[in-house]
């Protein structure tokens, strides 16, 4: 068992604050830690998936606002506030689907608008960013404890994409549930969908599970139905990037198909996500914005390998996420507890 480097932290470098992260585009073959010191570089890191996963993006954005404030040369409060409002706008424009990004930025915006003086604002933003990261890690551990109670002994679990330590401040949401169940001796094996087109399951989830000493098998995305039909999957546990008030949720493309297959085969389908992922302003999943990504991610095998596999004349459709209706969800695991249908009521009880 080997430790996993922190996904994203706020660090004090010799020349000022930096957002430190593991570059996830290089995994599993290279573990490179990078320090980001400018907002353009942080926006690039989020867009290019150097840091990814809904909670981790929120943590990175919060740390970015604090970093920008600490490095700003603005001499008075008004100038610093104006600069940080633009920073927040730039970070908010990076990726549209994961609501945790906007949740974290609104927390930071609240600090920006409190007034005081420039020095106090810088200190308050740094403290808030560190609190958001620490809070996310705590939420993941609580989620794990709640979710582990749902996992049967001897479980063979299917997961899709990566909702582990790499997608959060640490431990993970879906993989946090799996880790907690494994610590109780319940998990026999985890099947990780490779997750085309960027292979987050093959590259990231399998890497995490191997490091944690949890037996795992990587399968192609089109193999899960066959395993279910053969009785080799006991439950599905995966994460979410945005959950509507009624329980509809967006997650990595391919999730909807897994949910349909699980329902057909009578297999429990669990979603693990913090309450910060619930967008109570959206009545249903129909209002969730779906990010469209660069066609080359599909056209080039593994994208990062730059190996063309699609004719140049062919058009490409590359949505990053799909929406799964609440009727296909067995339960939503949060840090507050386990929500079941009707989700409007069960999730609504935790709305602030």
Rg of the chain's alpha carbons, rounded to an integer? Answer: 20
**Which of 193, 234, 241, 248 is an active site residue?**
241
Asked about 241 being catalytic, the answer comes back as yes
Contact 198, 25 (CB under 8 A): no
Contact 30, 203 (CB under 8 A): no
Q: Which two tokens stand for residue 99?
A: 């609501």
Phi and psi torsions of 162, nearest 5°:
-130, 120
Q: Which two tokens stand for residue 143?
A: 């989620």
The distance of Cα 328 from the centroid of its chain, to the nearest Å, equals: 21
DSSP string, 112-163: HTT-S-HHHHHHHHHHHHHHHHHHHHHHHHHHHHHHHTTSPTTEEEEE-S--
User: How many residues comprise the chain?
Assistant: 352
Q: How far apart are CA 242 and CA 215, in angstroms?
A: 29
Helix residue ranges, H only, 189-229: 200, 206-212, 224-229
What's the longest Cα–Cα distance across the chain?
Answer: 67
Contact 269, 259 (CB under 8 A): yes
Q: How far apart are CA 259 and CA 329, in angstroms?
A: 7
E strand or H helix at 200:
helix 200-200
Enzyme catalytic residues: 241
């Amino acid at each position: 068992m080997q430790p996993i480097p922190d996904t994203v932290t706020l660090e004090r470098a010799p020349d000022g604050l930096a957002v430190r992260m593991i570059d996830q585009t290089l995994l599993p073959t290279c573990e490179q830690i990078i320090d980001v010191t400018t907002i353009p570089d942080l926006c690039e890191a989020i867009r290019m998936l150097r840091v990814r996963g809904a909670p981790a993006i929120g943590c990175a954005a919060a740390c970015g606002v604090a970093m920008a404030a600490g490095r700003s040369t603005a001499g008075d409060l008004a100038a610093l506030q104006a600069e940080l409002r633009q920073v927040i706008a730039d970070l908010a424009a990076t990726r549209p689907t994961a609501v945790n990004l906007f949740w974290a930025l609104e927390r930071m915006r609240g600090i920006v608008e409190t007034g005081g003086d420039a020095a106090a604002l810088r200190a308050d933003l740094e403290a808030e960013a560190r609190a958001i990261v620490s809070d996310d890690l705590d939420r993941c551990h609580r989620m794990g404890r709640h979710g582990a109670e749902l996992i049967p002994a001897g479980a063979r679990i299917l997961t899709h994409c990566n909702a582990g330590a790499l997608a959060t401040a640490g431990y993970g949401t879906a993989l946090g549930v799996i880790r907690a169940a494994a610590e109780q001796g319940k998990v026999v094996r985890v099947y990780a969908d490779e997750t085309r087109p960027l292979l987050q399951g093959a590259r990231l989830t399998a890497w995490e599970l191997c490091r944690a000493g949890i037996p795992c098998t990587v399968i192609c995305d089109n193999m899960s139905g066959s395993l279910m039909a053969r009785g080799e999957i006991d439950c599905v546990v995966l994460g979410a990037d945005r959950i509507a008030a009624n329980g509809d949720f967006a997650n990595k493309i391919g999730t909807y198909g897994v949910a349909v297959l699980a329902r057909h085969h009578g297999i429990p389908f669990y979603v693990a996500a913090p309450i910060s992922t619930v967008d109570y302003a959206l009545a249903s999943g129909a209002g969730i914005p779906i990010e469209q990504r660069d066609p080359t991610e599909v056209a080039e095998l593994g994208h990062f390998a730059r190996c063309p596999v699609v004719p140049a004349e062919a058009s490409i459709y590359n949505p990053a996420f799909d929406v799964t209706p609440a009727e296909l969800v067995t339960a939503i695991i949060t840090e507050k507890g386990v929500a079941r249908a009707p989700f409007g009521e069960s999730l609504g009880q935790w709305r602030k």
